[in-house]
Structure 1
Amino acid sequence: MPTPLVSNIDLRQISPAKRHAMVFRRFADMQPGQTLELTNDHDPLTLSAQLEVRSPGQFSWEYLEAGPQVWRVAIAKRA
């Protein structure tokens, strides 16, 4: 069964200083089994590491597209 998509955030449209905080808020509001899709202009690997520190083991991270111009990532909240 596909995981329900919560929303898609195009981080390219958001000020860099506000990007990570927005993702952390959205993730905190998600229910287990829901997915957040991010679109970015660079690899959001730092975001993945920060999310792991904040929410260890509580999410999966799947690259849907990996550059060089656009990166898309699906972040699913685990139970």
Structure 2
Amino acid sequence: MIEFADTVDIRDIFPHQDKYPTVQRTFTALSIGDKMELINDHDFRPLFEYKFPYDFPGQYEWEYLEEGPEVWRVAVTRIK
């Protein structure tokens, strides 16, 4: 079983523009080696292909834990 330092269910965050800042804050608070769990109702791929590489280059690894169709879960590890 994976131990998470924090879990963010972004389905519950409103308004929409608060979702990514919440993910950023949570990731920034992680120590190296810590993992966070992200939960959403659609794929996280755009986040990890466009936003995270710009904001956190080389600082993370991510892996799918669940790939829809209704729930998407991802583990994000801070590596730097």
TM-score, scaled relative to structure 1: 0.89
| Equivalent residue, structure 1, for 2:71 | 70
Aligned-partner SS, 1:42: coil
| Equivalent residue, structure 1, for 2:13 | 14
Q: Does 1:58 align with 2:56?
A: no
Paired residues, number: 78
Q: 1:55 & 1:13 partners in 2: Cα distance? A: 24
Aligned-partner SS, 2:17: helix
| Equivalent residue, structure 1, for 2:38 | 38
| Equivalent residue, structure 1, for 2:4 | 5
What's the % identity of the aligned pairs?
37
Aligned-partner SS, 1:68: coil
Q: What 5-or-longer segments of structure 2 have no aligned partner?
A: none
- Distance apart, 1:52 and its partner CA: 1.2
- Distance apart, 1:4 and its partner CA: 4.3
- Misfit runs of 4+, over 2 Å: none
Aligned-partner SS, 1:5: coil
Q: What 5-or-longer segments of structure 1 have no aligned partner?
A: none
Q: 2:53 & 2:34 partners in 1: Cα distance? A: 17
